[in-house]
Amino acid sequence: MSVLRRWFQTGLLCGRAQCRSAAGRGSMCGGAPALARFSSSESPVNLTYDVFDGKGESTPLVFLHGLFGSKSNFHSIAKSLVQRTGRKVLTIDARNHGTSPHHPVLTYEAMASDLKHLLTKLHIEKCVLIGHSMGGKVAMTTALTQPDLVERLVVVDISPAQTTTRTNFRFYINAMQAVTVSSTLPRSTARRMAEDQLRKQVKEHSVRQFLLTNLVETNGQYSWRVNLAAISAHLDDIMSFPSLDTTYDGPTLFLGGASSAYISSEDYPEIQRLFPCADIQYIPDASHWIHADKPLDFISSISSFLQS
């Protein structure tokens, strides 16, 4: 696979040998109340997850999805990686996403705590952590605060930098909150009606289809399975990154889409500071959703990184 590769000077100096291996009818969602920030006294939530069992004994791979996503985003990727590597693969729903519980707090500290709680419950002492976008920031937070838990780290099209100016997430939230769908409609009609309403603020067809994966019918009512109130209230937290002075010295891959602006040269110094053994690669003709645009290249990049 042809990729554009950039190595950090510190990454070259450190060398791989020195890196440690290691709702009712009507509007579907209400407003966003003021919420307290996460503290160490917060109890973690019990995340939902899917397991794809491999026959090998190597460290399992753990996938973390992005904002508005779910564990199913990586199911086909997980199946391919089980076949290619023999490793067990887990895909996880973050709090307020998929079928995981809702909680008013949505910070990276809280989500990292949820992840540690799940891995402890599953008796997984070490894993290869792979996170896309928001999930990439959860993965970075986990690696920086609990490095012994992470054997290798893959951060997909995101950096430890402020990303507010590069996103339209606030528009997406507003559009989703404004959708109204009658409970009397069949699902296919309800989905078309919801898409028509989203189209006013969400111009990209692919983004609308992605957001619509969150439209569910529960007890005869249509609603969004993501917790829009918590996402809206914590959007600044989600778009930023915790201030941390620690480093993660294990093997790290930042995998960006060549057509995406989420990992830019302006981010390199902070990546270098926090992840001194990082390698950055870009997959040609891939947008922010690399795994959907170029799944074979994405799988090849992950496989090569595991063997490096």
In this prediction, residue 4 carries a pLDDT of: 35
Domains in the chain, start-ordered, CATH in brackets? 4-22+33-164+235-307 (3.40.50.1820), 166-231 (no CATH)
Instruction: Compute how many other C-beta atoms are within 10 angstroms of the C-beta atom of residue 272.
Output: 17
Per-residue pLDDT of the chain (308 residues; tens, 9 = 90+): 333 333 333 333 343 333 333 333 333 433 333 333 334 447 999 999 999 998 888 999 999 999 999 999 999 999 999 999 999 999 999 999 999 999 999 999 999 999 999 999 999 999 999 999 999 999 999 999 999 999 999 999 999 988 755 678 999 999 999 999 998 899 899 999 999 999 989 999 999 999 999 999 988 899 999 999 999 999 999 999 999 999 999 999 999 999 999 999 999 999 999 999 999 999 999 999 999 999 999 999 999 999 98
Q: Which of 170, 106, 165, 168 is nearest to 137 (CA)?
A: 106
Residues 72 and 269 sit within 8 Å (Cβ to Cβ): no
Gap between the Cα atoms of 261 and 150, Å rounded? 27
Gap between the Cα atoms of 56 and 217, Å rounded? 39
Q: Exposed/middle/buried for 261, CB within 10 Å: 0-12, 13-18, 19+?
A: middle
pTM score, whole prediction: 0.86
Gap between the Cα atoms of 258 and 203, Å rounded? 22
* Type of residue found at 283: I
Q: How far is CA 161 from CA 6, 90, 133, 138, 243, in A?
A: 18, 27, 11, 13, 10
